[in-house]
Amino acid sequence: MLHDSAVNYFDSTDNIAINTQDKTSTMTQPIISVDSKKIPFQEHHNTLLECIESANVEVHYHCRDGYCGACRITLESGEICYPNGEPLAYVGEGEILPCCCIPKSNLTLSID
């Protein structure tokens, strides 16, 4: 497990570790599965939405900051977190707001 004050994410079930500051540690990118695409969440992606957009997957959005709920999608499997705190927009059971979350593990997403 990673231990320092850098931004670390670790998921023991998927054995994924990311350290955004220490380039010498284990760097395994979470893989985002959506439709038939497998998209690596890369270090320069600030949010899950940026990652999805990088693969030209169309996701509705408006505020891009967790207020409007326009980007709401279904998380089929995996874990995410909201690094800036829980968003204000309503999020139903099994739904996430990709504009303000990042993956903690590989994810499978469903976008209507």
Within 1-112, residue ranges assigned H as helices are: 48-54
Nearer to ligand FES, 10 or 67 (CB): 67
Is 62 a residue that touches ligand FES (CB under 6 A)? yes
Is 103 a residue that touches ligand FES (CB under 6 A)? no
Q: Among residues 8, 50, 61, 74, which is the contact residue for ligand FES, using CB under 6 A?
A: 61
Least spacing, CB of residue 62 vs ligand FES, in Å: 5
CA distances from 100 to 26, 35, 59, 85, 97 (A): 25, 21, 13, 9, 6
Contacts with ligand FES, 73-102, as mask; x by CB under 6 A: ----------------x-------x-x---
Question: Which stretches of the chain bind ligand FES, using CB under 6 A?
Answer: 61-64, 66-71, 89, 97, 99
